[in-house]
Amino acid sequence: MKKGFTLIELMIVIAIIGILAAVAIPMYSDYTKKSRTAEVQSNLAEIVKMQLIYEEDPNGGSLTKQYATNFYTIGFKTNLGSFAATAAGCPGTTTAYAADMGGDMYACGTYFGYKLTSSQVSLSSGDVNACEGAEKGMAAAEPRIEEQVPADWKTACMNKNLTFKHAE
């Protein structure tokens, strides 16, 4: 009597593994994309809180209530500590606040670039998104590489009430 597996048994096992992989790989891909949005809400909340503190006491007690126009003023930076002109340009080549002095810079996060909204208009060109009509001075985020995050996360923003929303 021979010991071992027959060719048919091995082929059945390979077919079962193939079916499991065909189901598991797309599910894993979706899961990893969704997990990459975890940083967004906490970073936006931190930016908004820093803006509100600055508005209450800008420049050590100025009487003019205003929001900061750049990250340097409020002291925000992500764990990457870099800035870029666009979210897609992250990670930026600069690791200092000096690059952000112009005000239209993105603080580079792991998967998203963060921006202070400079006016009450949409951040994206033509896209209907969560930041349409966003308050001046509040925070918004855009993905660095859109293929790495869920398709419904083109932008996200938070207002001074810490109300969070993202484009769907």
Three-class DSSP labels, the chain: CCCCCCHHHHHHHHHHHHHHHHHHHHHHHHHHHHHCCHHHHHHHHHHHHHHHHHHHCHHHCCCCCCCCCCHHHHCCCCCCCCEECCCCCCCCCECCHHHHCCCCCEEECCCEEEEECCCCCCCCCCCCCCCCCCCCCCEEEEECCHHHCCCCCCCEEECCCCCEEECC
Give the pLDDT score at 23. Answer: 92
Question: Are residue 87 and residue 121 in the same domain, yes or no?
Answer: yes
* Domain range enclosing 28: 1-35
Question: Are residue 72 and residue 11 in the same domain, yes or no?
Answer: no
Question: Are residue 29 and residue 43 in the same domain, yes or no?
Answer: no
Question: Are residue 117 and residue 53 in the same domain, yes or no?
Answer: yes
Question: Are residue 4 and residue 76 in the same domain, yes or no?
Answer: no
Q: What is the pTM of this model?
A: 0.74
Give the pLDDT score at 8. Answer: 93
Question: Are residue 28 and residue 68 in the same domain, yes or no?
Answer: no
Question: Are residue 50 and residue 102 in the same domain, yes or no?
Answer: yes
Give the pLDDT score at 104. Answer: 65
Q: Which residues of the chain have pLDDT under 70?
A: 1, 58-64, 92-104, 118-134, 137, 168
Question: Are residue 30 and residue 42 in the same domain, yes or no?
Answer: no
